[in-house]
Amino acid sequence: MFSPNLQGSLKRMIGRNLDGEERYADPIVLPLAIVSLLSAAQKTSVRTDSSASHGMADEMASDGKILTKTQVAVDDLVDVAGGTFRVKGTHPRYTVFGIFDHYEVVLELVDQ
């Protein structure tokens, strides 16, 4: 059985404005448990120049996974552990008796 041990905040996406920017509702308390929050530098290719140096750059990528009993949707924002993360996917988890227990939520760090 899942038992949340932390609190974060959830901002649900409510639509887009005329410029196409996301609009979010006021934050609500989100009881959760962190499975993983990973930050790592990944190599990314940069535009090659005339010398064909095949330049590379480091790009910070952060992913995470949390558990919560609150249903969240893709593109909602979760504030937890000092970072703001966008929901990239969610999957319900059930007990061995087939009863809903919690949601597993996959997150991606938002550049701010």
Q: What is the pLDDT along the chain (112 residues), one digit of tens a residue?
A: 788 999 999 999 999 999 988 899 999 999 999 998 876 555 666 555 555 555 666 555 568 899 999 999 999 999 998 889 999 999 999 999 999 999 999 999 987 5
d(CA 97, CA 2): 14
Predicted pLDDT of residue 1: 77
Quote the pLDDT of residue 81.
86
Residue 88, Cβ neighbours under 10 Å: how many?
13
- pLDDT for res 82: 87
Q: 26 exposed, middle or buried (CB, 10 Å; 0-12, 13-18, 19+)?
A: exposed
pTM of this prediction exceeds 0.85: no
